[in-house]
């Protein structure tokens, strides 16, 4: 359950983008477990800084659990380059902290995951656990059907694969939204987890819903509560 909750919280991070540009946004979500009397909430924002970088902030809570996550991103020539990433989890199992610096000149990722040092070669296109979500958002909006990302998780590096399933209407807290359904691709012999996401076809392609089923059958659903893109409210029909 802890891993499922963390994945859900992380996917709240998906921001709103259009074409080749980035747009400031804010969004709030609700999360509900089908088998357990648990509910939670999360808030996410993307803002442009004075030096031209972007900051992606995230804060979530569910019962006694809390999670915060921040990425500073350089966006240049239609390319996302992480500059720093911080993550902190408390109140749910073991506490966890991650602090990463992406040195694009030295081509290294350094920092720590709890008490373990991180020193990873920075390969071209490598992202952190928050920035890859922005890349996914942009690729779906650009019409791609399959996506793969090389992600620094801390001391480990993994590949995240996704595929587009097709268009669907989703009933959200702000009304019915035309969306694009996306699914994470996993080796069925290694994991039976299911992760599905729905992104708005319009309104910046904001994440409107998420469904995850764990290997033990526990299922949770995430739904957009309200949001803005470029200061304009996200609305359904």
pLDDT by residue for the chain (237 residues), tens only, comes to: 555 555 555 554 444 444 458 888 899 998 777 766 667 888 888 999 999 999 998 888 877 778 899 999 999 888 999 999 999 988 756 789 999 999 999 999 999 999 999 999 999 999 999 999 888 888 998 899 999 999 999 999 999 999 999 999 999 889 999 999 999 999 887 788 888 989 989 888 888 888 888 888 878 778 899 999 999 999 998
Measure CA 209 to chain center.
12
Cα-trace Rg, the chain: 17
Q: Cα(125)–Cα(102) distance, rounded to whole angstroms? A: 12
With contact defined as beta carbons under 8 Å apart, do 169 and 111 qualify? no
SS3 content of the chain, % helix, strand, coil (to 5): 10, 60, 30
pTM surpassing 0.75?
yes
The domains located in the chain, with CATH, are 2-233 (2.40.360)
Q: Cα(149)–Cα(121) distance, rounded to whole angstroms? A: 16
DSSP 8-state secondary structure symbol assigned to residue 12: T
């Amino acid at each position: 359950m802890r891993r499922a909750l963390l994945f859900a919280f992380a996917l709240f991070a998906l921001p709103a983008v259009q074409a080749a540009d980035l747009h400031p946004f804010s969004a709030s979500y609700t999360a509900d477990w089908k088998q357990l009397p648990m509910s939670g909430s999360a808030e996410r924002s993307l803002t442009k800084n004075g030096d031209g970088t972007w900051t992606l902030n995230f804060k979530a809570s569910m019962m006694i659990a809390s999670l915060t996550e921040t990425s500073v991103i350089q966006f240049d020539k239609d390319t996302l380059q992480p500059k720093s990433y911080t993550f902190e989890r408390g109140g749910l199992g073991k506490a966890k902290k991650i602090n990463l610096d992406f040195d694009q000149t030295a081509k290294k990722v350094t920092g720590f995951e709890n008490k373990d040092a991180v020193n990873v070669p920075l390969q071209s296109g490598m992202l952190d656990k928050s920035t890859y979500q922005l890349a996914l958002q942009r690729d779906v909006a650009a019409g791609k059907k399959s996506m793969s990302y090389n992600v620094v998780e801390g001391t480990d590096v993994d590949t995240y694969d996704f595929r587009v399933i097709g268009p669907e209407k989703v009933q959200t807290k702000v009304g019915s939204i035309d969306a694009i359904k996306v699914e994470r691709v996993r080796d069925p012999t290694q994991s039976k987890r299911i992760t599905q996401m729905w992104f708005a076809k319009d309104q910046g392609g904001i994440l409107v819903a998420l469904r995850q089923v764990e290997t033990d059958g526990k299922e949770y659903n995430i739904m957009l509560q309200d949001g803005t893109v470029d200061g304009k409210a996200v609305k359904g029909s």
